[in-house]
Amino acid sequence: MNVLEVANLQIWDNRTNKQLVAGSSFQLKAGSCLAIVGESGSGKSLTCGAIMRLNGSGLRQSGEIRFQGEDLLALSEKDMRQKRGKQICLIVQNGMRAFDSSCVVGVHLRETLAAHYGWSRDEITARMKTAMESVMLKHPLEIMNKYPHQLSGGMLQRIMIALAIVLAPDLIIADEPTTALDAVSAYEVVEQFIALRQTMGCSLLFVSHDLGAVKKIADEVLVMKAGEVVESGTTQQIFAKAQHEYTRYLVSNKLALSQHFSRVMGGVAVAEG
């Protein structure tokens, strides 16, 4: 069964009438991980925004987006708001933007969970403490009393993953979750996503230009270039037998970067970890 089905998704810029995504179609199987890869400007984040119905008024779209068989584009904003977080959780690339800078992160967590589940403050705190500890965050109660700017990008990403654990959605969309992180933090966050899938059995749409992370986590890969899907297949097919010239370019660049990193670090095992 497919948890998500996108058919002929097209997105335009209202101001210029330029087409930004041209007829994208794909499916995500229940419990599976689909990665969308491509360079900046290829339409990856716009696709995520369309699924969540969070693209701004300056954009218009057409096509069909079905989540568990239900047409998301036909829902009222109120009904869609109920699905965001509880059933479809979006983890953005810049953790600082995900939280209100004027209040401590615990306020955001409590408001989100109270809106979806109506739990008491104490229950929310207890559940978040457990989830934060499971993603290797030490002293969670202290962290919840800090402002976003007092925390690192890696910590903010882990907090968003912990929130996803408590929300227990059917689908998690991770939009460039490692972009703003250093190499060590990025590796650790990818490991947390792998653990999240194993623990929850949820479906994951993993959007990234980091092919190392994609190779580690994805079951299938969709390649986008200039708003179009140019190739799709299993992760093994994409990395070993890519058909499209652009895909081969992306994969060869990843290989060259890994080899360079290996030489600098003095061992293949470090680069491929």
Q: Does residue 233 lie within any of the structural domains?
A: yes
pLDDT of residue 34: 97
Q: Does residue 270 lie within any of the structural domains?
A: no
* The model's pTM: 0.84
Output the tens digit of pLDDT for each of the chain's 273 residues.
899 999 999 999 999 999 999 999 999 999 999 999 998 889 999 999 999 999 988 999 999 999 999 999 999 999 999 899 889 999 887 777 788 889 999 999 999 999 888 899 999 999 999 999 988 889 999 999 999 999 988 889 889 889 988 998 999 999 988 877 777 778 888 888 888 888 888 899 999 888 888 999 999 999 999 999 999 999 999 999 999 999 998 888 765 555 544 454 455 444 444
Q: Does residue 41 lie within any of the structural domains?
A: yes
Distance separating alpha carbons of residues 53 and 77, to the nearest angstrom: 9
Q: Does residue 273 lie within any of the structural domains?
A: no
Residue 48 token pair:
């995520």
CB atoms within 10 A of CB 141: 11
Distance separating alpha carbons of residues 268 and 260, to the nearest angstrom: 10
CB 181 within 8 A of CB 213: no
Q: Which residues on adjacent β-strands are paired with residue 62?
A: 10
Distance separating alpha carbons of residues 117 and 54, to the nearest angstrom: 22
Distance separating alpha carbons of residues 265 and 273, to the nearest angstrom: 12
Give the residue carrying structure tokens 């992180």: 181
pLDDT of residue 125: 95
pLDDT of residue 256: 53
pLDDT of residue 213: 86
CB atoms within 10 A of CB 218: 24
Contacts of 138 (CB under 8 A, 6+ apart): none
Q: Does residue 64 lie within any of the structural domains?
A: yes
User: Residue 208 phi/psi, 5° resolution?
Assistant: -165, 155
Q: Does residue 107 lie within any of the structural domains?
A: yes
Print the domain residue range for 224.
2-265
SS3 labels along 214-234: HHHHCCEEEEEECCEEEEEEE
Q: In terms of C-beta density within 10 A (0-12 exposed, 13-18 middle, 19 or more buried), how is residue 262 classed?
A: middle
Note the helical H segments in the chain: 44-52, 77-83, 95-98, 105-117, 121-134, 140-144, 153-167, 183-200, 211-217, 235-240, 245-265, 268-272
The angle formed by the CA atoms of residues 116, 117 and 121, to the nearest 5 degrees, is: 110
Q: Does residue 68 lie within any of the structural domains?
A: yes
CATH of the domain at 78: 3.40.50.300
Indicate the number of domains in the chain. Answer: 1
Q: Does residue 13 lie within any of the structural domains?
A: yes
Q: Which long-range contacts (CB under 8 A, 24 or more apart) does 113-122 make?
A: 113/163, 113/166, 113/167, 115/85, 116/82, 116/85, 116/86, 116/167, 117/86
pLDDT of residue 183: 78
